């Protein structure tokens, strides 16, 4: 087909191919969720409906898009890791990032009612996205460790802050004052001595965030089969092994998780 005289404009498109051999991480973060969480009456400091909806949306991303081997989420963010050998969309950063962001955003709205029931969605939420490349397993693990450490630091602070207000009767300014300059051990101590809360017994969902990985699970399915020497069909139950996206709320900083799931990472050499 003859090219139109307009065709040259394609040359203005820049190449954004992600470097080979690198893990491609797409991190999404809710746009102005400070306001969004207030307007939609999110429970403080953690709203299980909101966290559940984030996880459901991330699951949809993994099921609908190719090559995401692990995802990690906390608060209003989720990181998706594409396997380092992925050739999906020719590794074009803008394609990968926008597919993740749009699939996630539409899922967030689509599944809203399943999680928020009587709380109406008041306006369309948005998520920003960025792409970061990590060339080694160590770098990728350090990235995920960084996000999980962030989850821990924020959650310990928020739990202490809101406990001082909700159970201790402090104002937000007083609570801020009380926590100024405190270390993790001090916050643990405040929770324990003043409120009888052992932070380590708080739900792992809140302390560790949510990790999604693919796992083989045996599932029982019923089938109608016709046996050779019988007239009628018969219902039999067979076990099928199916890959499913499964949530974990465990530590991913140490080695144990990675030793238990050796298929997530590809070898460095
Ligand atoms: P951004 O990301 O720069 O557009 O602005 P924000 O406001 O989204 O800031 P960010 O992402 O640093 O912080 C997340 C906000 O979302 C933070 O204000 C707390 C809020 N948020 C996230 N999860 C929950 C929750 O479960 N409960 C409540 N009450 N707030 C939450
Ligand atoms: Mg932000
Ligand atoms: Mg945000
Ligand atoms: Mg955030
Ligand atoms: Mg198209």
Say yes or no to pLDDT of 219 above 90. Answer: no
Looking at the domain 15-153, which fold is it? Alpha-Beta Plaits (3.30.70)
**Domain chopping of the chain, boundaries:** 15-153
**Ligand 3 ion: residues within 5 Å (CB):** 29-30, 33, 76
Indicate whether residue 75 lines ligand 1 (CB < 6 A). yes
Question: In this predicted structure, what is the pLDDT of residue 226?
Answer: 82
The residue with tokens 């992600």 is: 18
Convert the pLDDT of each residue in 15-48 to its tens digit.
999 999 999 999 999 999 999 999 999 999 999 9
pLDDT at 104 over 90: yes
Residue 29 beta carbon below 6 angstroms from any ligand 1 atom: yes
Cα-trace Rg, the chain: 23
pLDDT, residue 232, reads: 81
For residues 151 and 159, the answer to whether their CB atoms sit within 8 Å is no
Q: Each residue of 222-235: pLDDT tens digit?
A: 888 887 877 788 88
Residues with Cβ within 8 Å of residue 215, at least 6 apart in sequence: 243, 244, 245, 246
Does 210 sit in the ligand 1 pocket, CB within 6 Å?
A: no
Please determine, for residue 213, whether its predicted confidence score (pLDDT) is greater than 80. yes
The DSSP line for 106-171 is: HHHHHTHHHHHTTS---S---EEEEEEEE-SHHHHHHHHHHHHHHHHHHHHHHHHHHHHHHTT---
38: Cα within 13 Å, side-chain hemisphere = 3
Report whether pLDDT(269) > 80. Answer: no
Q: Does residue 74 register a pLDDT over 90? A: yes
ipTM, interface predicted TM-score of the complex = 0.96
The pTM is what? 0.93
Of ligand 1's listed atoms, the one at least distance from the Cα of 50 is: 26
Query: Which pLDDT belongs to residue 191?
Result: 97
Q: What is the pLDDT of residue 129?
A: 98
Which percentage of the chain shows pLDDT scores above 70?
A: 100
Residues 237-263 pLDDT 10s: 889 899 999 999 999 999 999 999 999
């Amino acid at each position: 087909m003859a090219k139109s005289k307009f065709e040259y404009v394609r040359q203005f498109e820049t190449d954004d191919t992600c470097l080979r051999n690198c893990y491609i991480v797409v991190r999404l973060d809710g746009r102005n969720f400070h306001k969004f969480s207030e307007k939609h009456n999110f429970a403080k400091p953690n709203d299980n409906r909101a966290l559940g909806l984030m996880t459901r949306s991330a699951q949809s991303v993994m099921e609908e898009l190719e090559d995401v081997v692990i995802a990690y989420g906390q608060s209003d963010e989720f990181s998706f890791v594409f396997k380092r050998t992925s050739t999906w969309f020719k590794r074009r950063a803008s394609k990968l990032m926008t597919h993740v962001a749009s699939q996630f955003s539409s899922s967030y709205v689509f599944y809203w009612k399943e999680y928020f029931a009587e709380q109406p969605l008041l306006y369309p939420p948005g998520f920003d996205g960025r792409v970061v490349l990590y060339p080694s397993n160590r770098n990728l693990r350090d990235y995920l460790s960084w996000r999980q450490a962030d989850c821990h630091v924020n959650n310990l602070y928020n739990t202490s802050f809101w406990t001082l207000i909700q159970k201790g009767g402090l104002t937000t300014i007083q609570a801020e004052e009380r926590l100024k300059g405190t270390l993790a051990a001090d916050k643990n101590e405040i929770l324990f001595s003043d409120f009888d809360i052992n932070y380590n017994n708080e739900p792992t969902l809140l302390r560790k965030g949510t990790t999604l990985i693919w796992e083989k699970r045996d599932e029982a399915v019923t089938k109608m089969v016709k046996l050779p020497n019988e007239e009628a069909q018969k219902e039999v139950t067979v076990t099928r092994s199916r890959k499913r996206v499964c949530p974990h709320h465990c530590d991913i900083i140490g080695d144990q998780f990675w030793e238990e799931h050796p298929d997530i990472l590809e070898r460095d050499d």
